[in-house]
Each structure stands twice: as structure tokens, then as C-alpha cells.
Chain A
């Protein structure tokens, strides 16, 4: 009930926006720009002929593969860079230089290296989400409070135990923050990547809808769906923040 109350203002604004959109389109007698209702019917058309699920599945598959590859690469690397000074000194400058390059700028290279199949967008997603995760994981290790490392040292535990019981769990909250950022960027990039060459995915759906007869109702439907799925993915990552073993960092 309380949550519903908190949600009320934003729902009201949303309703207002949709109302204004509707009114303007009707008043302007636009033939191309759809009314909200046309978007709804367009979306249900996509649902009924099953095309929508294929596109969503294709996009999620690319994001999932690229993101998981990035996690598998970034987390161990970030831990290593955070723990070993030399590794940080060696690799950090390279990452700091690569990081500001927009993943979109990699598109030509992706096509050159991987062609126009699934590998290209997976590579782009990998590129886009790997850097924030490396950076967050590294800083997660760097910000471990000294008193914990000292206490662990006091008990004379082995290096492996120190890493497994102290370093990794201490950095975990930051790793999860990195994963949240990474997945968010990945979802942004997959749509852009799919606009270029592929024949499936939500990005392709948008471009294809426009090219095949100015179906702007489908363009907007796809945009809304992208937004909703993005929200869902972020919610999924936030579930990780609810884990008991990381709550100490977020609770206070």
C-alpha cells in the first residue's frame, strides 16, 4: 500500500505524458506519428505473430553472452589488478585510455573482425561492459579497509584463505556495482549494434520498422519494450545487492 502511494506521482506524470502525446498527435493530424493506441495495437500485432519474442530473445542472447564473457574476464582481472601493484601499474593506463572510447566507435572494427553475425554485437557488448567492471572491481580491492587486512594477517591465514575469505568478499559489493553498470551499458549498446547489420534483435526491429513503410507505431513500441527490459535487467542486478553477505556495504 505504501509502495503504491510512492508510485502514484510517477504514474500520474506518465498518464499525463501519454495524454498530451495523444492530444498533440490528434490535433496535428499526423499521418506518420502514431497515437498511443496505435502503438498498443502495433505491439500486440508483434506479440501475436511471435516476431517480438524472437527479437527479444536475440537481443537478450547477445547481451547475456557478451556480458557473461565480460564478467568472466573483468572480475578476475580486476581482483588481480587491485591486489598486485605491478599489475595495476601495467594495465591501468591502457584501460583508462580504452575506456572513454564509445563502444559505437568499435562497430567498424567489430564488423571487420567478426562479420555481421552474432559475434559482432557480442564483441561490442563485451567491450562496453568490461571496462566499468574492471574499474569497479579494482577499486573494490583498493578500498578494502586496512584494519581487515591487518586482522587477517594477525591470524596468520594462508594467502589463498586471505583472498577467498577477505579480499573477494570485501570487494564483492563493488563488483556488483560494476556488474550493474556493465549490464546497463550492455543493453544500451546491443540496440545500437543491432541497428547496423543484423536481421534480428530489438535494434533491428526499430530500423526495419522504419525502413519497411514508416511503421512508427512499431518503432515506438520497440523503444518502450527496450526501456521495460532494461528496467527488468537492472532489477535483476539489484537482487544481487540484497544478498546477506554484501548488505553491510549498502545498509549504512
Chain B
């Protein structure tokens, strides 16, 4: 698998009232083309910062992120970020949101594309609704569809489903897997939910507490659909939790 994303020796320090706050300390890894890599770590360890750096929203103090060999210096539609709080524009309808990123297409093409992805995420019939008329799960679908419409090569997902309740969270994971089986994307997923990581990822990176270094890497050699109650999943979960300093008895 050729490397799509290469993260080389990233360091990032924020300045705070109490002096410099090192967040990322020499993080290096690569993500293969079409791979789904999950990044887990204790809260506040710098997972989101890492994702922001990879997606180009923030520059590292040191080190380099390359996408297909080109240095990532600013965000682009090549990789779309989906964040926890969502950013579906509340002043646009679902359809207008979906068409937002489409430039240089004629209107009818944009409409067709938007319709296609609305159907894919199960929002058919809600194209003319405004976001405040949708439920939390539907908003997530809209956000996902808006990202997919521009056919990004990479999806950056920052705790995408953690604001949803447990049932909806599970349902959205399955939806995501279905969509990813239809459309090939490279995905970097940041989450604090180890089970979610095992459910979705091909590979799991465990970050240490701040300043974060890459502490451990786990392959997830399980075929989809994965049964979360299976022994293999449970075993992996225990191992990852142990890396995070949580003993399996208390988990």
C-alpha cells in the first residue's frame, strides 16, 4: 500500500499564560492510500491538534506533513475535516449545504451530485430542510454528505460521532463503513472511544499523555463486519486500554 499521508517528526507547542505548553513531541507515522487509521489517546493529549496539523489548519513548529509527497501547508478540498460539533451551515438548506463546495460545475450537475449523496447518507426528501429542522443524527449525515460531494481523497474525522447517543453512534459507524465500502477514501479518525476505533480502523495509533508521542501501534486484522462482542475484539480492547493506563478490570 503506497503511503498517502506521511507525518514526519511533528512538534507543536502552544503558548499559554503559564508559559509554553508542548502538545506534540516528535510524532511520526504514515497512512496508506485507502487506509483507515484511528488515533486514540487520553483526553487533552493533543489528538485534535495532530489532526489539525495533518489537515493543514495549523502549522507544526517542526517537522513536515506530506500528502502524496507534497507538503501540506493549508487546508484544501483534497481532505475534508469533520468535527465533533459539526459545521453544517445553518443558514443554508441541506441541498445548498451539499452544493457548497462544488465550484466549476454547472448547476444541474451540482444538483445531481448533491441528490446522489443525499440519497447515499439517507437524507433523500430532506434536501429543502434547514439544519435546525433536522435531528442530531441527520445533521451528521448532512455533514458527511457535504464532505463526500467534493470527492475528497481524505476524510479527517475528529470525534465525529461522540456528540451522538450510543445507539446513534453505533448506527453512524455502520453507515460510515457502508459508505467507505462504496467510495474509497483514506481516513484519519481521532477518537477517545477505543471500541469505536476497533470497530472502524485498519490500524490504531495510541498517543501518550501530553506532550504526545506515538506510544503504540495496533493492527486490526479483522474483516468487516466486525462483531464487537467477539473475543478478538475484546482482547484488542484490553491491550489498547492497558496502553492507555486503564486496567481491564475497571474498564
Q: Is the CB of B89 within 8 A of A166?
A: yes
Q: List the B residue with the shortest CB-CB distance to A166.
A: B89
Contact of A248 among B57, B75, B90 (CB under 8 A): B90
Q: Is the CB of A147 within 8 A of B100?
A: no
Q: Is the CB of A248 within 8 A of B81?
A: no
Q: Measured between C-beta atoms, what is the minimum distance from B190 to chain A in Å?
A: 16
A158 contact set on B, CB distance < 8 A? 103
Asked if A32 is at the interface of the complex by the 8 Å CB criterion, the answer is no
Asked if B91 is at the interface of the complex by the 8 Å CB criterion, the answer is yes
Contact of B91 among A150, A154, A156, A248 (CB under 8 A): A248
Q: List the A residue with the shortest CB-CB distance to B88.
A: A151
Known A-B contacts A247-B132, A252-B132; the reply to A155 vs B87 at CB < 8 A is no
Q: Is the CB of A147 within 8 A of B85?
A: yes
B91 contact set on A, CB distance < 8 A? 169-170, 172, 245-246, 248
Asked if A159 is at the interface of the complex by the 8 Å CB criterion, the answer is no
Asked if B43 is at the interface of the complex by the 8 Å CB criterion, the answer is no
Q: Is the CB of A154 within 8 A of B89?
A: no
Q: Measured between C-beta atoms, what is the minimum distance from A171 to chain B in Å?
A: 10
Q: Is the CB of B132 within 8 A of A248?
A: yes
Q: Kindly identify, within residues 82 to 100 of chain B, every residue whose CB is under 8 Å from any CB belonging to chain A.
A: 83, 85-87, 89-92, 100
Q: Is the CB of A148 within 8 A of B87?
A: yes
Asked if B126 is at the interface of the complex by the 8 Å CB criterion, the answer is no
Contact of A153 among B75, B85, B89, B132 (CB under 8 A): B75
Q: Is the CB of B81 within 8 A of A150?
A: yes
Complex Cα distance, B89 from A63, in Å, reads 35
Q: List the B residue with the shortest CB-CB distance to A248.
A: B90
Interface of B is mostly: loop
Instruction: From A151, A245, A248, name the one whose CB has the most chain B CB atoms within 10 angstroms.
Output: A151
Q: Is the CB of B131 within 8 A of A248?
A: yes
Q: List the A residue with the shortest CB-CB distance to B129.
A: A244
Complex Cα distance, B103 from A165, in Å, reads 13
Q: Measured between C-beta atoms, what is the minimum distance from B242 to chain A in Å?
A: 35
Known A-B contacts A147-B87, A165-B92; the reply to A154 vs B103 at CB < 8 A is no
Q: Measured between C-beta atoms, what is the minimum distance from B250 to chain A in Å?
A: 35
Asked if B218 is at the interface of the complex by the 8 Å CB criterion, the answer is no
Could you give, for residues 116-147 of chain A, a 1 whenever the CB lies within 8 Å of some chain B CB and a 0 otherwise?
00000000000000000000000000000001
Q: Measured between C-beta atoms, what is the minimum distance from A164 to chain B in Å?
A: 11
Contact of A169 among B92, B101, B103, B132 (CB under 8 A): B92
- Tier of interface size on chain B: 20 to 34
B222 contact set on A, CB distance < 8 A? none
Q: Is the CB of B103 within 8 A of A161?
A: yes
B76 contact set on A, CB distance < 8 A? 154, 156
Contact of B77 among A147, A155, A252 (CB under 8 A): A155
Q: Is the CB of B150 within 8 A of A155?
A: yes
Q: Is the CB of A157 within 8 A of B85?
A: no
Q: Is the CB of B100 within 8 A of A155?
A: yes
B92 contact set on A, CB distance < 8 A? 165, 169, 245
B57 contact set on A, CB distance < 8 A? 150
Q: Is the CB of A155 within 8 A of B89?
A: no
Asked if A12 is at the interface of the complex by the 8 Å CB criterion, the answer is no
Contact of A157 among B90, B100, B131 (CB under 8 A): B100
Complex Cα distance, B91 from A244, in Å, reads 8
Q: Is the CB of A148 within 8 A of B89?
A: yes
Q: List the B residue with the shortest CB-CB distance to A251.
A: B132
B131 contact set on A, CB distance < 8 A? 248
Complex Cα distance, B131 from A252, in Å, reads 12
Q: Kindly identify, within residues 77 to 130 of chain B, every residue whose CB is under 8 Å from any CB belonging to chain A.
A: 77, 80-81, 83, 85-87, 89-92, 100-101, 103, 130
Taking A155-B100, A156-B101, A245-B130 as given, write out 7 further A-B residue pairs in contact, using a Cβ cutoff of 8 Å, ordered by the A residue number. Answer: A147-B86, A150-B81, A151-B89, A154-B80, A155-B150, A247-B130, A248-B91
29 A–B contacts from the bound complex (CB under 8 Å)? A147-B85, A147-B87, A148-B89, A150-B81, A151-B87, A154-B55, A154-B75, A154-B76, A154-B80, A155-B77, A155-B100, A155-B101, A155-B150, A156-B77, A156-B101, A157-B101, A158-B103, A161-B103, A165-B89, A169-B92, A170-B89, A170-B91, A172-B91, A244-B130, A245-B92, A245-B130, A247-B130, A247-B132, A248-B131
